[in-house]
């Protein structure tokens, strides 16, 4: 588990699903442990699929995962068929228990997996292949189907964050894992395939392109400045400017980046440099939860109360290299640019990677500051 005092550490219970995948329940430390934590998965399931195939793109020097088995994954089932709701006597889901607070399990349709097989021959001499080692996990934030992360209490958010820290630490211990990425996709506009409030964890076997590029620029900055951390310097500059800061407390700062790519994009960063979620202290976790919720509610308040489609992405330091260059931060952005209007990644963005933002970051920050989202921040 992450290094928090025992009185705040959630209960963790491990079980094995019918096909051999692992599931972990995380329950608030200060609440009674619900019954049924050891209930067996009574389903009959086929074996999990083997790992995907990685193919190297020689033109961009990037790896692409080919995971054809994901074509058969569950797609927007009705609420009474949701695989992330608790199991009942009438229907078995991915969660064997009749109730839970937070649950994490290995994805049934993973893009990356430890079940390795021969990746096969390279399609060309310029495109070598490799097995898609690693792991993909699903993080269920709550047993309630018709709710959202923003509706959780700060205490429950702490449990979710502690679960992410625990899984980050466990996955980082795998020598095949290069990067651990925790994220949430919310809204059909983003491309979610399950409405139940949930996030995911990807344990990549290679550094993904954005992480590798951020590491390269941070390394150059350190070399040019005598070892200074790039993100720490950027954060200090944003705090000094002030105009793009949305909210802050003694441990965290939420701001719109000066060169934001998305119409409404915010970074939520700790005021001290830490590499990843397991490195956060108890006071930092406690201070993060209400500010995180406040930020998400501000996003929802931007567009006449319509729930904002968003991606919330935790950027953590690489597992094995240059960890001193990393700086943990959460990136939250929405693709909605106005009521009823989405920001599509069309020709310039999709084909050339050159983003064109329709909203000045200073205006986005002002709008988010005005969209006050605090609701019972002390509820625990």
Q: What local confidence, expressed as pLDDT, does residue 32 receive?
A: 84
Q: Does 196 show up as a binding residue in the annotation?
A: yes
* Residue 380 covered by a domain: no
Q: Give pTM, 2 decimals.
A: 0.94
Domain that holds residue 245: 229-370
Q: pLDDT digit string (tens) for 109-156?
A: 999 999 998 999 999 999 999 999 999 999 999 999 999 999 999 999
Asked if 38 and 158 sit in the same domain, the reply is: yes
Q: Which tokens in the block code for residue 359?
A: 């909203």
> Do 165 and 29 lie in a common domain?
yes
Residue that is last in its domain, among 154, 174, 206 = 206
The answer to whether 202 and 133 are in contact (CB under 8 A) is: no
| Predicted local distance difference test score (pLDDT) of residue 343 | 94
pLDDT for 377: 40
What are the residue ranges in the chain where pLDDT is below 50? Answer: 1-6, 374-380
Name every residue whose Cβ is closer than 8 Å to that of residue 71 and which is 6 or more positions away in sequence: none
Number of domains the chain is built from: 2
Q: Which pLDDT belongs to residue 31?
A: 82
* Residue 150, domain CATH: 3.30.428.10
Q: Is residue 375 part of a domain?
A: no
Same domain, 267 and 128: no
pLDDT score, position 194? 94
102 and 251 within one domain = no
Regarding whether 177 and 126 lie in a shared domain, the answer is yes
85 known ligand binder: yes
- For the annotated catalytic residues, the residue numbers are 198
Domain membership of residue 112 (yes or no) is yes
Residues pairing with 245 in the sheet = 255
């Amino acid at each position: 588990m992450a290094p928090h005092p025992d009185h705040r550490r959630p209960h963790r219970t491990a079980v094995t699903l019918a096909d051999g995948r692992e599931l972990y329940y995380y329950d608030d430390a200060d609440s009674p442990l619900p019954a049924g934590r050891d209930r067996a998965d009574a389903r009959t399931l086929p074996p999990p699929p083997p790992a995907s195939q990685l193919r190297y793109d020689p033109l961009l020097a990037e790896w692409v995962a080919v995971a054809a088995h994901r074509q058969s994954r569950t797609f927007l089932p009705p609420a009474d068929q949701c695989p992330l709701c608790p199991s009942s006597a009438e229907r078995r889901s991915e969660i064997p228990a009749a109730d839970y607070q937070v649950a994490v399990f290995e994805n049934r349709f993973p893009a990356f997996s430890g079940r390795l097989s021969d990746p096969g021959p390279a399609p060309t001499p310029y495109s070598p292949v490799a097995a898609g080692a690693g792991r993909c996990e699903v993080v269920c934030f709550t047993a309630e189907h018709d709710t959202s992360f923003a509706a959780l209490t700060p205490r429950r958010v702490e449990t979710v964050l502690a679960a992410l820290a625990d899984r980050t630490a466990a996955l980082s211990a795998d020598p095949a894992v290069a990067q651990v990425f925790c994220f949430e996709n919310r809204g059909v506009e983003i491309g979610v395939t399950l409405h139940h409030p949930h996030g995911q964890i990807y344990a990549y076997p290679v550094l993904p392109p954005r992480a590798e590029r951020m590491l390269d620029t941070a390394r150059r900055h350190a070399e040019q400045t005598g070892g200074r951390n790039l993100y720490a310097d950027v954060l200090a500059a944003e705090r000094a400017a002030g105009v793009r800061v949305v909210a802050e407390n003694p441990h965290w700062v939420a701001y719109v980046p000066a060169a934001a790519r998305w119409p409404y994009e915010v970074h939520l960063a700790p005021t001290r440099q830490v590499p990843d979620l397991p490195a956060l202290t108890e006071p930092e976790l406690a201070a993060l939860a209400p500010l995180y919720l406040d930020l998400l509610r501000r996003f929802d308040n931007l567009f006449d109360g319509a729930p904002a489609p968003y991606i919330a992405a935790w950027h953590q330091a690489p597992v094995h290299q240059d960890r001193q260059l990393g700086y943990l931060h959460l990136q939250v952005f929405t693709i909605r640019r106005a009521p009823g209007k989405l920001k599509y990644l069309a020709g310039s963005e999709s084909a050339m990677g050159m983003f064109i933002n329709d909203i000045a970051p200073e205006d986005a920050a002002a709008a988010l500051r005005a969209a006050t989202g605090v609701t019972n921040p002390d509820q625990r």
